[in-house]
Every structure is written in C-alpha cells, then in structure tokens.
Structure 1
Amino acid sequence: MLQQRVAVIDLGTNTFHVLIAEVSELGFQKLYSEKIPVRIGQGGISEGMITEEAQERALEAITNIHQTLQQYKVPNNKTWVVATSAFRSAKNGKALAEEIEKQTGFSIQIINGDKEAEYIYQGAKTALDIGNTTSLIMDIGGGSVEFIIANQKKIFWKKSFEIGGQRLMDQFMRTDPITELDIQRMNIFLEEKLWGMSEVMFNYSPKVLVGCSGTFDTLAEINDKRYPEGESLRLSSTEAEMDLDDFHEVYQALVWKNRDQRLKVPGMIEMRADMIVVAVCLVRFVLDRYDLDRIRMSTYSLKEGFLSKKMEEDLD
C-alpha cells in the first residue's frame, strides 16, 4: 500500500469526530484529530427530529471540517463520512445528510447499529490488546449505546441500543443536580431496555469492561488528576485502566454536583459537563448489573475502527 493521506468523519449525535491520517503498510499515523460538540440531538432527538438550530450547527461544523481537510490536502475520494444514531432515527436525518453532501461533495454513509458496533470493536482492538479474555466493550454516544462481547480474535455478540446520553438526559435529568429518584427511574428504564442482555452476559460471563472514547476518556482524565504526577493509570496513548474503587469515587465526585461544580472537577471538559452525569449512571448500572470487576479504556472508537477496517480492505 502506497502512503496516502485520508480522513474519517464520524457524525455523532452529540459530537462530530474528525480524523486525518497518513496510512501505509505500517499502519496509520494521526495528523489531526478533533471533537466538535455539535449536539444535533439536543432539543429534538427524543421526538425523532433534528431541530433547525441543530441543523445550522451541523452545517457550520461540516463547513469548517471541509476547510480543514482542504488545508491538509485530503481529497474527497479519500474522505469517509459515517453518520450514526441521530441520522438514522430522526425523520429529517436523511435530508440533513443530503444537504451536507450538497454543500461539501462528501458522500455520507448512514450506518446501522450493528455496523457501528463492528467499527467500535475494531477501534478497541486496535487501541489495546483484548487478548483471550472475553470482554464487554461499551461505547456511549449521544443517541445510542453499543455493547459488544468479544475477545481480540472475534465478536461473540453485538447490539446497539437507542439509550444514548442525550436521550437519557431528556428523560431523566429533570433537575441539575440529578435526584436519587430520577437515578432509580433511569435504572428501572435501563433494566427494561437491556433485559435481553442478561442471558447473553450470563452465557459469556465477561468480567472486563472496555470503555471506548468519549465518556471514558473524560473518566480517565479525571481519575488521572486524582493521582500524584508519575502515578498515571494511562498505560499508553491509546489505553488506560481504572479500578472499581476509583470509578465509584469519580462517580460520587460528579453525580451530585451541578454543572458549574462539575466544571471545577480537575480533568472535566466543558463539552462533557452535561451528559457525564447520565453517562456515569449508565456505566455504574452496567458494572453492578453484570458483575464486572475491571475497567479498561480505549481512546479509539468508531473512526479509528473504520479506518482500520478500510486498511484491511486496502482502502477501496
């Protein structure tokens, strides 16, 4: 494979992710990476619509991304744009994708949840060695959450659930800080939505949770700041670990605070300050419900997984 410059854009419900990389037979080298908090699910995703304001934010963000790609001299035929939950579930998702295509010349793939889970798995196993240990891989998006039971060699089971952070916020974060009652309501809702997972989890018995990007990046960053310099739990630029005691301490440090207080927590970033509460409640539910005893974190997710898959196919 000749060295080539390529880009992957992941149009998520909460965030647009951009990756520009040089690829060769040796792998890929990141040249540019950005996360843009577009929040296209805000104010409409639970009603199955992308609001006018959200569409404007999306078009502005994609125009800026297009300019960045031109600066890096990435051709459109080496730019892959993948759209997920909001685009596939909103009544006007396809129309927004078509408008983006019209304005940029990009070709957008609106992928289903199964395909999304596949790319997330590919990203996780590129970032870290899952090994022979059967693990539960989890990615929390704004619109959907993907679960994959797998080891380094194969996927045993995968499923996407429309229970992403924006949807949970719309339904359960009626006050800030959230109340104990609303957390209980959310747990009952999650029990119902994820009921089919219990049997699968029992059959495969994973003990390790591998959390991908987003929420887990922020949890790793907050946890890191709690330790003296030189005692980082980041094992590499693409992998970190967190024990359950640390997770529960970070959970307590976040969940009962309001937005301004959360922003003062070392390691917190503004784009995660709203959704982090329902996200950590979801992680806690999964850890407790499925009796997981270890957390590993991958900084790679869908876009890196998509690129890895493309490279396996020789970038067709």
Structure 2
Amino acid sequence: MITKKAAIIDMGTNTFHLVLVELFEDHFHTIYKEKIPVKIGQGGISRNTIHPDARKRALHTLQHFKNLIDGESITEVFAFATSGVRNADNGAEFVTEIKDRFGIDVQVIDGIQEAQMIYEGIRLSGSLNGQIALMMDIGGGSVEFIIGNSNEALWKQSFEIGGQRMLDLFHYHDPILGEEVENLTTYLEEKLVPLVEAIHYYGPTGLVGASGTFDTLTDIYYASLQQSKSRDQQTFQLPREEFERIAQQLLTLNKEERLNIPGMIPMRVDMIVVASCLIEYILKFVPVDTLICSSFALKEGAISRLMGKHSLAPVTTR
C-alpha cells in the first residue's frame, strides 16, 4: 500500500504543535509529535501585536520544526495560525517572513474555521456519540465552543477570551484573589451571552473539552490515582467532583506550588487557573457528572481531512 507522509503545524497563541504522520485511507500513524510553549501572545496580545521576543521564539521553533520535517523528507506541510496571529497588526508581515525563511505557507484561519476543525478533531477521537454535547477548546487567544454530535456541528462560535487574554486582564496576584475571580466571572457573563443562548436552545447534555487545559487536568487526575494515561487512548473521563477538587486547589496555590502538583506541566501552570475558572462557569449551564476530555483537537481535524484525500480540503465555514 502506498502511503503519504504529511506534516501539520498548529501555531496556537500559547503552544506550537508539530505532528508528522503517515496517512492511510481510514487511519493515520503518528511518526513524531512535539509541542513547544512559544507563547506568541505574551507581551503583545492585549495590544494586538506580536512582541519581538515572541516572534524570535516562534521563528526559532519553526526552524526546529523545519529540520524535523526535512529529516523525514516530508514535502506536504500544512500550517495553521489562529487568534494570536490573526488579530495581530503585524500578523501578515510575520506570515510573509515564515514563507520567505522556511518556504512554509501559513493559513491564518478565522474563529469559525478554527471551531470547525476542532470539531472534526474531536469527532475523530471518538469522544462523541448520538447525544448533543457542548465542546470547548481553551486556547491562549480564543476559546472555541461547538454544540453538536457525532453527525454534525449544529452551532459553533469563537470568542476572543483565551487564556493569555484572561491572564493579562484578571490574574494579577498569585494565588489569584477572590475579587479577580469575581471580575473574571462578570467578564464571562458579558462575553458569553450568545453561547448561553445557544445552550438553552440546543440543550446539550454532555461536555467535551479538547486537548490543552483538559489534557493537563486529566494528567493531574490520573496522577492522583497513581495511574498513567494510555498513549493509545484519545478520550478520557474526568469526574466532575474531581475537577472541582483540582480547580479549588489551583485557586489557593501560587505558581511554585502549582508546579509541584503531580501531573502539572510547566507550559500550563500560568493559564490553568483562569482556564479552570472558565470551565467552572460553563458547568453552571451544562451540569454534567463527568467531563469528557479529547486529546484530539485542531491538528487532528486537519489530519481527518487529509486521510484518504492526500490533499487538504478547503476549510468550510458552514
């Protein structure tokens, strides 16, 4: 059987991901994957710019990714940039520099396109069934919400309220102050009105979180059980009462103490506090007993499109 290799680069606001895969008609094999906390939004996201230091980190990481891609002799490279680049005044200039330096064409996708690809990644993970679920992906710049099931996405929207933005706006003290949590909650009440309306209309009965924060929350949960997560598994369950326990713990600890929590990784230690506050807020409207956590998200959505096609289909917005 003739296989095709491809590289997918997900240039998130907090983390850059690289996945090298072999593609088959109905499945894929991961050759290599890596994630690096580039934090392209750090120092500039609140001013709609990519800070020079963040740009340097990004270019350094992309050079590293390019070396790995060339090492596997992969020529099919699909790169996506999200909130941190699409909202930056110097984002287009940055994309041009990447093309000039590395020969990589970066597709800057809008929030609806991003939400659709996240949905396709979650669907590929097997996290969905016939019931209607609310899906969420907490990025550094934006948060995507999708309501749907394994057949279709019924509603989707992207909100520019990602972890780095919430961090910049509300998390000034460490541990976070009760007043800061209250201010963050008021902010979410204002920003997420369309989401709450959609939840009331569609009535989702499940909650699925995609990668990032949800990966780390399940890592912490499994570590508390003295278990490790299977690498072959894409879907994990986090009991709500365990999430509540972890979230309350995160509110009371400073950064150094959070780093000492078994299962915590340094790249998540800053944003996980405000991200957990966001999840707490969402649970008011989708009161589930168990959170479903999908390790697949946007990059696997891209892989889903590539499988059996061997060329990336246009990103649909419907």
Aligned partner of 2:70 in structure 1 is 70
Distance in 2, matches of 1:188 and 1:117, equals 24
Q: TM-score, normalised by structure 2?
A: 0.95
Aligned partner of 2:48 in structure 1 is 48
Deviations 1:193-237 (A, max 9, x none): 0011122101111121100000000000000011144xx787962
Structure 1 unmatched ranges of 5 or more: none
Equivalent residues in 2 for 1:291-302, closer than 5 Å? 291-302=287-298
- Contact 2:199 2:285 survives alignment (8 Å): no
Correspondence for 1:174 among 172, 175, 184:
172
The structure 1 segments of at least 4 consecutive aligned residues displaced by more than 4 Å after TM superposition are 232-236
Cα distance, 1:296 vs structure 2: 0.3
- Contact 1:11 1:84 survives alignment (8 Å): yes
Q: For residues 14 and 133 of structure 1, do their structure 2 counterparts lie closer, same or farther at Cα, with a shift above 3 Å needed?
A: same
Distance in 1, matches of 2:3 and 2:232, equals 25
Aligned partner of 2:105 in structure 1 is 107
Aligned partner of 1:16 in structure 2 is 16
Cα distance, 1:71 vs structure 2: 1.0
Q: For residues 234 and 22 of structure 1, do their structure 2 counterparts lie closer, same or farther at Cα, with a shift above 3 Å needed?
A: closer
Equivalent residues in 2 for 1:238-249, closer than 5 Å? 238-249=234-245
Equivalent residues in 2 for 1:110-149, closer than 5 Å? 110-149=108-147
Aligned partner of 2:34 in structure 1 is 34
Residue 155 (structure 2) pairs with residue 153 (structure 1) = no
Aligned partner of 1:279 in structure 2 is 275
Distance in 2, matches of 1:293 and 1:148, equals 19
**One-letter amino acid of the structure 2 residue matched with residue 308 of structure 1:** S
What is the DSSP-based 3-state SS (H/G/I as helix, E as strand, rest coil) of the residue aligned with 2:292?
strand
Aligned partner of 1:214 in structure 2 is 212
- Contact 2:26 2:308 survives alignment (8 Å): no
Q: TM-score, normalised by structure 1?
A: 0.95
- Contact 2:23 2:310 survives alignment (8 Å): no
Q: What's the % identity of the aligned pairs?
A: 41
**One-letter amino acid of the structure 1 residue matched with residue 261 of structure 2:** V
Cα distance, 1:291 vs structure 2: 2.9
Cα distance, 1:277 vs structure 2: 0.6
Correspondence for 1:256 among 228, 252, 255:
252
What is the DSSP-based 3-state SS (H/G/I as helix, E as strand, rest coil) of the residue aligned with 1:43?
coil
